[in-house]
C-alpha cells in the first residue's frame, strides 16, 4: 500500500530494460493500489482512494475502467487475492492518509465471487477495534483453498484468514516484518507464496525477504541500499513468475527484478522504469501476470499498476541467464 503523501516529482528520463507498453492512463491521477487477473484475462483493480472495485479488459482496444462493486463503510481498498478459481478476497477499510493507518474496527475482508452469472459479495472477516492493524497485501495459500494470508504493515506481522468461517489468527511475527523509524512508516507490505517459501517486502526497511513456511531463517534477497534514501524509494507489492523470478514495484518509479544466478546467489537489477523516477512507471504499486486460454494459464506479460493510475504491460520473456 502506498498513499498520496508518497507521490514524488519525477524528473528523469526512464529507460526500460524489458519492453513496456502503456495500456491505460486516466486523465487525472487515479492511484491504483493492487491488481488481480481473472481467468478470463480481465483485471480487478483496487485503490486506497476509493472503496470501489474496478475492472479493465486489457485484451480489447479502448477498454474502459468500469465499476464492479462499492464496499460499504470503507474509504479505500488494499490487497486482493484469488483464493478459489475466480473467487477473490479483498481488504476494505477506512484509511487515514496522514497517519497511514486504518481506523480500528473498520478493516473487513470480503469475498468477491464471479463463478455465477451475477457476482456475489460477502463480508467474511472483521478485524476487531481492539486489534489495531494496517492490512495491506493479501495472498492465497496453495493447497488450502479457503485460507488467505494478510500482511499487517503496522505493527507488523502476517494474519491467517479462513474465508469459509471468517476466523482470524496471527500466523507469523518477526522483527523483519515490523516498520522502523518514527511513525507512520509501513513494515511488511506485499507477500506471496512460491514453492513453500513466503516472500515479502518491508517498505520501511527497504528490502525483499523470504522465509520457509514451516520454520527456518528469514533470508534477505536484496535491498535499496544502492538507491539512496529508503524512505523515498520503498518496495511495494510484487509478482513471482514460473521461474521463481521476483518482480518488485519500487515506489520511486522502477520495477526491480530479483533472480537466482547459477552460483545460487540472488541478483538484483532494474527491469523497467527508472529508480530516480520517470514517465514509464509513475509510482509502481503492484504487479500480476496475464492469463489466457483454458484454465487461465499465466503468460509472460506482467501488468504493473501505479500511483499515477497507469496500467503498464511489461514483456518479461527475455531470458537473462
Nearest to 307 by CA among 32, 17, 25: 32
Contact 160, 171 (CB under 8 A): yes
Q: Which domain holds residue 64?
A: 4-11+25-243
- Which has the higher per-residue pLDDT, 81 or 228? 81
Q: Residue 4: is its pLDDT beyond 50? A: no
Q: Mean pLDDT for the chain? A: 90
What residues form DSSP beta bridges with 108? 92, 126
Q: Residue 133: is its pLDDT beyond 50? A: yes
pLDDT tens-digit map of 37-58: 999 999 999 999 999 999 999 9
Question: Does residue 126 sit within a domain?
Answer: yes
Please state, for a pLDDT cut of 90, what percent of the chain lies above it: 78
How far is 305 from 26, CA to CA, in rounded Å?
12
CATH number assigned to the domain comprising residue 118: 2.120.10.30
**pLDDT number for residue 141:** 97
Question: Does residue 299 sit within a domain?
Answer: no
Question: Does residue 263 sit within a domain?
Answer: no
pLDDT tens-digit map of 230-266: 566 789 999 999 999 999 999 999 999 999 999 999 9
Question: Does residue 266 sit within a domain?
Answer: no
**pLDDT number for residue 60:** 92
Report the first-to-last Cα separation within the chain, whole angstroms: 32
DSSP sequence for 88-151: EEEEEE-EETTTTEE-TT--EEEEEE-SSSS-EEEEEEE--TTS---EEEEEEETTEEEEEEEE
Contact 178, 172 (CB under 8 A): no
Question: Does residue 202 sit within a domain?
Answer: yes
C-alpha cell at 225: 541500499
Phi, psi of 279 (to 5 degrees): -80, -15
Question: Does residue 80 sit within a domain?
Answer: yes
Band of the pLDDT at 2, cuts 50, 70, 90? Answer: low
pTM: 0.93
Band of the pLDDT at 229, cuts 50, 70, 90? Answer: low
When divided into structural domains, the chain yields a total of: 1
Amino acid at each position: 500500500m502506498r498513499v498520496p503523501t508518497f507521490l514524488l516529482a519525477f524528473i528523469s528520463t526512464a529507460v526500460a530494460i524489458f519492453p513496456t507498453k502503456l495500456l491505460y492512463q486516466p486523465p487525472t491521477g487515479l492511484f491504483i493500489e493492487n491488481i488481480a487477473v481473472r481467468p478470463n484475462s480481465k483485471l480487478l483493480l483496487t485503490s486506497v482512494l476509493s472503496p470501489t472495485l474496478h475492472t479493465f479488459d486489457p485484451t480489447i482496444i479502448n477498454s474502459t475502467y468500469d465499476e464492479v462493486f462499492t464496499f460499504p463503510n470503507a474509504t479505500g481498498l488494499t490487497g486482493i487475492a484469488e483464493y478459489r478459481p475466480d473467487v477473490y478476497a479483498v481488504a476494505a477499510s477506512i484509511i487515514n492518509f496522514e497517519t497511514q493507518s486504518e481506523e480500528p474496527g473498520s478493516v473487513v475482508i470480503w469475498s468477491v465471487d464471479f463463478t455465477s452469472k451475477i457476482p456475489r459479495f460477502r463480508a467474511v472477516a472483521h478485524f476487531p477495534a481492539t486489534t489495531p492493524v494496517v492490512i495491506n497485501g493479501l495472498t492465497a495459500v496453495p493447497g488450502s483453498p479457503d485460507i488467505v494470508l494478510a500482511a499487517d504493515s503496522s505493527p507488523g506481522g502476517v494474519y491467517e484468514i479462513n474465508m469459509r468461517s471468517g476466523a482470524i489468527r496471527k500466523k507469523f511475527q518477526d522483527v523483519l516484518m515490523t516498520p522502523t523509524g518514527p511513525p507512520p512508516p509501513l513494515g511488511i507490505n506485499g507477500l506471496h507464496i512460491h514453492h513453500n517459501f513466503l516472500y515479502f517486502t518491508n517498505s520501511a526497511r527497504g528490502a525483499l525477504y523470504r522465509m520457509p513456511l514451516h520454520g527456518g531463517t528469514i533470508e534477505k534477497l536484496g535491498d535499496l541500499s544502492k538507491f539512496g534514501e529508503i524512505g523515498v524509494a520503498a518496495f511495494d507489492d510484487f509478482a513471482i513468475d514460473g521461474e521463481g523470478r521476483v518482480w518488485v514495484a519500487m515506489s520511486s518509479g522502477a520495477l526491480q527484478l530479483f533472480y537466482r544466478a547459477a552460483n545460487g546467489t540472488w541478483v538484483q537489477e532494474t527491469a523497467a522504469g527508472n529508480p530516480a523516477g520517470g514517465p514509464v512507471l509513475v509510482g509502481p504499486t503492484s504487479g500480476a501476470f496475464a492469463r489466457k486460454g483454458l484454465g487461465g494459464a499465466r503468460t509472460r506479460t506482467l501488468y504493473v499498476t501505479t500511483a499515477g493510475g497507469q496500467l503498464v504491460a511489461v514483456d518479461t520473456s527475455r531470458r537473462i541467464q
